[in-house]
């Protein structure tokens, strides 16, 4: 019995089923479709991170914000007398003009010893680190030299002199500050304008803090040594401005993951399982402002430094980095399945490709949600095992041979292990990733070497 010749439509349908190019195009199209939910994953991670940051800021604001200590600084008002000469109708007239200004003097030596007691506040699954601190400041001032401004002693308002210290968040003062010089103590008051300024986004901003009146009657009453004891609450970071001509700051606390940052790094540091110790020594040459000035001639920023108390919660950054490899995992998985189709004469439906790709994308939501509760490493292990197991079990429905299922499972495990190594080795991630991908491409080339892409043979036809 003669075979009935196939119609044009039947031959076209067979060509669609058996064409390698059509299969490649359909797989490429599926990958493009899966890029849409893959992009949603990164948006979801960013949204969760923003949510965590908002909660941390809310907790911190209710406790007390980040703290930056500026000073102490002596502020002494004086009257500037100027003679202004002018001509009126050919006659020279002299007028005396008086204006009140403020002179600012920084200490010659400034010693600061800070002890920080951190604690963690929680809201739901989110955490924020706050602290109580005891800060002892000792400042020694030199001679208050008004000669550079041609100011005579009788023009100086010694009675109105004050010692000011900048504190960025006054809500953090938990006990009355103790300001003393020898046996004499000075009362202080909080103020949103202590005369000091810094620059924020190019604009001058007044520094808040405390001010203590000196009540000096004359130059003979001036003292140069001061001690300031503060009990200060804050959140996340404690910074200092090097106000002294020589500034030495010692900070210690029972926190095992501090970050020393700002404009200056500590001269020495020690981090143990019980806490940290850090010492800074800053000279006036290392900062962008001078020892004394008048009015708003300079701003006291640009040299602040200190410690930041970090909660080791990098799951969002690592999740984002991991999600960037999502497309790579899908491409590698689809490539493996496609090569299996060609070499083992197994037919895999496009819908099965979609389900495998969907499982590989849902993996990242598992990773994110688990990492918020148990950390990134544990979440990665759980999500990877769950996804590989799911895909492996599903592959038994279309990979006829058990050996193919085992091979596919091992390859998926290898892919996720490879990504985990890249994420952990930040300094060598590019090197490891480049070498790893090179090896993967080489392996794919090796296993596809015998495929004749343009010549149809019996081994290449779909059954």
Q: What is the pLDDT, as a whole number, of residue 14?
A: 55
Nearest to 411 by CA among 437, 392, 386: 392
Provide CB contacts within 8 A for 109, sequence distance 6+: 138, 139, 140, 244, 245, 246
Domain residue spans of the chain:
16-51+316-447, 71-83+92-311
Answering whether pTM is above 0.75, one says no
The CATH number of 71-83+92-311 is: 2.60.40
DSSP string, 7-38: PHHHHHHHHHHH-HHHHHHHHHHHHHHHHHHH
Instruction: State both tokens at 328.
Output: 């790579």
Which residues, listed in sequence order, are joined to residue 281 by a DSSP beta bridge? 248
**Cα 68 to Cα 236: distance, rounded to the nearest angstrom:** 11
User: What's the chain's length in residues?
Assistant: 463
Q: What is the pLDDT, as a whole number, of residue 462?
A: 45
Torsion of the alpha carbons at 435, 441, 446 and 448, rounded to the nearest 10: 170
Helices (H), 224-349: 315-323, 326-344
Provide CB contacts within 8 A for 347, sequence distance 6+: 341, 398, 462, 463
User: 164-216, pLDDT tens digit by residue?
Assistant: 999 999 999 988 999 998 888 999 898 888 888 877 766 778 888 999 999 88
Torsion of the alpha carbons at 202, 203, 209 and 211, rounded to the nearest 10: 120
Residue ranges in the chain whose pLDDT is less than 50: 1, 12, 457-463
DSSP class of residue 173 equals B
Is residue 227 within 8 Å of 236, Cβ to Cβ?
no
Q: What is the pLDDT, as a whole number, of residue 231?
A: 94
């Amino acid at each position: 019995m003669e075979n009935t010749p196939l119609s044009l439509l039947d031959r076209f349908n067979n060509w669609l089923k058996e064409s390698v190019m059509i299969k490649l195009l359909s797989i490429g199209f599926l990958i493009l479709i899966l890029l849409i939910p893959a992009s949603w994953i990164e948006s979801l991670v960013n949204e969760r991170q923003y949510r965590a940051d908002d909660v941390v800021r809310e907790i911190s604001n209710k406790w007390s914000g980040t703290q930056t200590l500026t000073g102490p600084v002596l502020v002494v008002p004086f009257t500037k007398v100027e003679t202004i000469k002018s001509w009126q109708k050919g006659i020279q007239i002299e007028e005396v003009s008086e204006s009140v200004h403020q002179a600012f003097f920084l200490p010659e030596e400034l010693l600061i010893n800070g002890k920080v007691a951190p604690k963690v506040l929680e809201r739901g699954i989110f955490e924020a680190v706050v602290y109580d601190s005891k800060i002892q400041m000792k400042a020694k001032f030199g001679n208050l030299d008004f000669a550079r401004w041609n100011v005579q002693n009788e023009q100086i308002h010694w009675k109105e002199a004050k010692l000011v210290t900048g504190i960025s968040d006054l809500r953090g003062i938990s006990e009355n500050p103790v300001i003393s010089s020898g046996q004499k103590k000075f009362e202080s008051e909080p103020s949103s304008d202590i005369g000091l300024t810094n620059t924020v986004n190019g604009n001058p901003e007044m520094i808040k803090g405390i001010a203590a009146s000196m009540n000096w009657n004359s130059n003979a009453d001036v003292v140069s040594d001061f001690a300031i004891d503060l009990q200060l609450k804050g959140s996340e970071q404690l910074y200092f401005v090097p106000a002294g001509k020589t500034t030495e700051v010692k900070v210690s606390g029972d926190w095992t993951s501090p970050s020393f940052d700002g404009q200056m790094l500590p001269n020495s540091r020690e981090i143990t399982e019980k806490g940290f110790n850090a010492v800074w020594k800053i000279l006036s040459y290392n900062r962008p402002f001078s020892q004394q000035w008048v009015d708003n001639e300079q701003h006291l920023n640009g040299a602040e430094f200190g410690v930041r108390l970090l909660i080791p919660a990098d799951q969002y950054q690592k999740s984002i980095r991991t999600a960037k490899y999502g497309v790579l995992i899908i491409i590698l998985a689809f490539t493996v399945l496609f090569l299996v189709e060609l070499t083992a004469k197994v037919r895999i439906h496009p819908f099965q490709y979609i389900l495998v790709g969907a499982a590989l994308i849902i993996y990242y939501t598992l990773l994110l949600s688990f990492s918020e509760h148990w950390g990134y490493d544990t979440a990665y292990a759980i999500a990877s095992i769950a996804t590989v197991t799911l895909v492996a079990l599903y592959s038994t429905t279309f990979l006829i041979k058990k050996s193919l299922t085992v091979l596919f499972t091992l390859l998926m495990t290898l892919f996720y292990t490879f990504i985990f190594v890249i994420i952990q080795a930040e300094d060598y991630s590019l090197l490891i990733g480049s070498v790893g991908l090179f090896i993967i491409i080489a392996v794919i080339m090796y296993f596809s070497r015998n495929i004749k892409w343009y010549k149809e043979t019996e081994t290449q036809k779909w059954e």
